[in-house]
Amino acid sequence: MKPMDAEQLREYGHQMVDFIADYYKNIENFPVLSQVQPGYLRQLLPDSAPTHPESLQDVLDDVQAKILPGVTHWQSPEFFAYFPSNSSVAGFLGEMLSASINMVGFSWISSPAATELEMIVLDWLAKALKLPDEFLSTGQGGGVIQGTASEAVLVVLLAARDKVLRRVGKDAIGKLVAYISDQTHSSLQKACKIGGIHPENIRVLKTNSSTQFALSPEPLSEAISQDIASGLIPFFLCATVGTTSSTAVDPLFALGKISKSNGVWFHVDAAYAGSACICPEFRHYIDGVEEADSFNMNAHKWFLTNFDCSALWVKDRSALIQSLSTNPEYLKNKASQENLVVDYKDWQIPLGRRFRSLKLWMVLRLYGLEKLQAYIRNHIELATKFEELVRLDSRFEVAAARKFSLVCFYLLPPKSNEEIGDKLNHDLLDAVNSTGKLFISHTVLSNRYVLRFAVGAPLTEERHVLAAWETLQEKASDLLMNL
């Protein structure tokens, strides 16, 4: 095989597409959760690379026989764990095109189309979400595609940190305080570690079922007041629309007002649920986003855009640029020096970046907003159906209010033996996942081990939800019978 030859690419590309198409055609035949044991692959593959070329068919045969058994199939219609990570035909095509062009788009001049398409397509998505005009590239802000929501929160935290330190002096970093709820994604705490924020200066504010696990404004306001009185400097708040544990929605407007009055950078993490907000009936969940300094959603979760594609918008791009910009001689050029263009290298952690906007552009064009809305609505309807089934079985209860396509539920222990509830649900999780028929995950809410059923895989239909529920009921019956 030559490093690059158009006719070989045509031949082997067809072979690879056929292999992938067959994988999707037969994906329901695989156990959803890989059933292999740790270290399985080292026993199947040689301990050094081949000296001479091997055929593509031999490689694909090994993928089929040795790699796929060790894959947990995120695109399986029976994948109900974590949150979805969507693939689609349009996403594949965009990924193929991006891989074929294979540019490294760190600055405008390194590939003008990459920068300009990213600006345009994120403006399209911002308008679909009805984000404030300040988040559009036509003003002082704009959008940028990060790899993940973890990267997005890191870059805005760094921008917020440096914005404050420019005012109060860099030696004050030990006084900076960040605010989150106990439902905020763990990536915020990692971002604080990377950003030099002292662990004792991260305020983790408690939530409970009375607010459906949303962050209340009152404890936030109290914590900020106490920290100011102690000579500390509040600088960052992360609110969530669709928390990982239960898809709780924090009250953006009230939290934003508190942030603004105290000079705190207000970031909104809508990594999962942001996609649903292109539907008018769910848009209200991000009401108050006009108070935010930055907003993030993952198109690669629930928007038919292959991983990775995390959309981040900021109102003030200069805050990012001042924090993250470098300008070595070998990257200088006329367009950048005269401030005629955006250089996305200054909006992210790495220098290099992929042409990720191509796949988001293709998803928006080949499906259109109406079809994307219908796709999301269908998953929410399926989750609603599953929630109804849970409520109809008196052995179970719904453990948190459902807002999108995640259902949190709990198998009730016998009243004479309530202390075994967590173990019972843990055992149920293991029992259903070990069948290979479906894959679910768990969380802890109000100190209870709760099961999560997240609908969102592209191929999931009602029959898959019903079959999953049958398996859950069957395994629950077995466990309860053997108590």
Q: What is the mean pLDDT of the chain?
A: 94
The dihedrals phi and psi of 135, each to the nearest 5 degrees, come to -85, -5
CB distance 315 to 259 below 8 Å: no
- Cβ contacts of residue 322 below 8 Å, gap of 6+? 159, 162, 163, 166
CA–CA gap between residue 63 and residue 373 (Å, rounded): 35
Report the Cα–Cα distance between both ends of the chain, in Å, rounded.
61
Q: Which two tokens stand for residue 458?
A: 């592209």
Q: Is there a contact between 215 and 246 (Cβ–Cβ < 8 Å)? A: no
- State how far the Cα of 430 lies from the Cα of 283, in Å rounded to an integer: 36
- CATH no. for residue 254? 3.40.640.10
Measure the CA angle with vertex 394, ends 388 and 395; round to 5°. Answer: 110
Tell me which of 324, 354, 384 is where a domain ends. Answer: 354
Q: How many domains does the chain have?
A: 2
Q: What is the band of 341 on the pLDDT scale with cuts at 50, 70, 90? A: confident
Beta strands 406-411; 441-445: pairing state? unpaired
Residue 70 lies in a domain: no
DSSP 2-48: -SS-HHHHHHHHHHHHHHHHHHHHTGGGS-SS--PPTTTGGGTS-SS
Q: Are residues 286 and 246 in the same domain?
A: yes
Q: Please report how many Cα atoms fall inside a 13 Å half-sphere around the Cα of residue 6, on the Cβ side.
A: 0
The count of C-alpha atoms lying within 13 angstroms of the C-alpha of 191, restricted to the half-sphere facing its C-beta, is: 28
Strand-pairing partners, residue 313, are: 143, 295
Across the range 223-242, mean pLDDT stands at: 97
pLDDT digit string, tens, across residues 449-467: 999 999 999 999 999 999 9
Buried b (16+ CB within 10 A) or exposed e, 29-59: ebbbbbeeeeeeeeeeeeeeeeeeeeeeeee
Domain boundary among 354, 379, 399: 354
pLDDT given at position 23: 96
Q: Check whether the bond before 308 is cis (ω within 30° of 0).
A: yes
Residue 108 is predicted with a pLDDT of 80
Q: What is the CATH number of the domain that holds 435?
A: 3.90.1150.10
- Could you tell me the strand order of the sheet in which 406-411 lies? 396-398, 406-411, 448-454, 441-445
Instruction: Choose one of 288, 321, 354: the last residue of a domain.
Output: 354
92 in a structural domain: no
pLDDT in tens, 287-297: 999 999 999 99
Say whether both 404 and 262 belong to one domain: no
Domain membership of residue 339 (yes or no) is: yes
Task: Please provide residue 66's backbone torsions phi and psi, each rounded to the nearest 5 degrees.
Answer: -120, -35
The 10 Å Cβ neighbour count of residue 114 is 24
Report, as an integer, the average pLDDT of 105-126.
92
Asked if residue 297 and residue 393 are part of one domain, the reply reads no
**Residue 73, domain member (yes or no):** no
Tokens of 177: 């305080």
Sheet holding 294-298, edge to edge: 142-146, 310-314, 294-298, 265-269, 233-240, 176-181, 202-205
356, 178 in Cβ contact below 8 A? no
When pLDDT is cut at 50, 70 and 90, the band that residue 359 belongs to is very high
Q: Domain range spanning residue 152?
A: 104-354
Query: Does 374 lie in the same domain as 303?
Result: no
Q: Which phi and psi (to 5°) does residue 202 adopt? A: -105, 115
- Same domain? For 184 and 327 the reply is yes
Q: Is the sign of the CA dihedral 348, 350, 353, 356 positive or negative?
A: negative
Rounded Cα gap, residues 150 and 190, in angstroms: 8
> What pLDDT band is residue 418 in, cutting at 50, 70 and 90?
confident
pLDDT at 478: 94
Residue 364 has pLDDT above 90, yes or no: yes
pLDDT tens string 155-174: 999 999 999 999 999 999 99
Question: Do 304 and 221 lie in a common domain?
Answer: yes
- Do 343 and 421 belong together in one domain? no
Q: Are residues 299 and 372 in the same domain?
A: no
pLDDT digits (tens, 9 = 90+) for 163-215: 999 999 999 999 999 999 999 999 999 999 999 999 999 999 999 999 999 99
Residues 140 and 220 in one domain: yes
Please report the pLDDT score of residue 382 as a whole number.
98
Instruction: Tell me if 7 is assigned to some domain.
Output: no
Residue 88 lies inside a defined structural domain of this protein: no
Q: Are residues 193 and 219 in the same domain?
A: yes
* Amino acid of residue 201: N
Residues 6 or more apart whose CB falls under 8 angstroms from that of 207 comprise 181, 182, 183, 213, 214, 215, 216, 248
Residue 82 covered by a domain: no
What DSSP letter does each residue of 263-287 carry, written as one string? T-EEEEE-TTGGGGGGSTTTGGGGT
Q: Are residues 177 and 279 in the same domain?
A: yes
Looking at the fold, whether 203 and 315 belong to one and the same domain comes out as: yes
Q: How confident is the model at residue 110 (pLDDT cuts 50, 70, 90)?
A: confident
Task: Give the pair of three-digit tokens for residue 155.
Answer: 């870059």
Question: Is residue 69 one of the residues assigned to a domain?
Answer: no
Looking at the DSSP bridge assignments, the partners of residue 397 are 410
What are the pLDDT digits (tens) for 421-448? 999 999 999 999 999 999 999 999 999 9
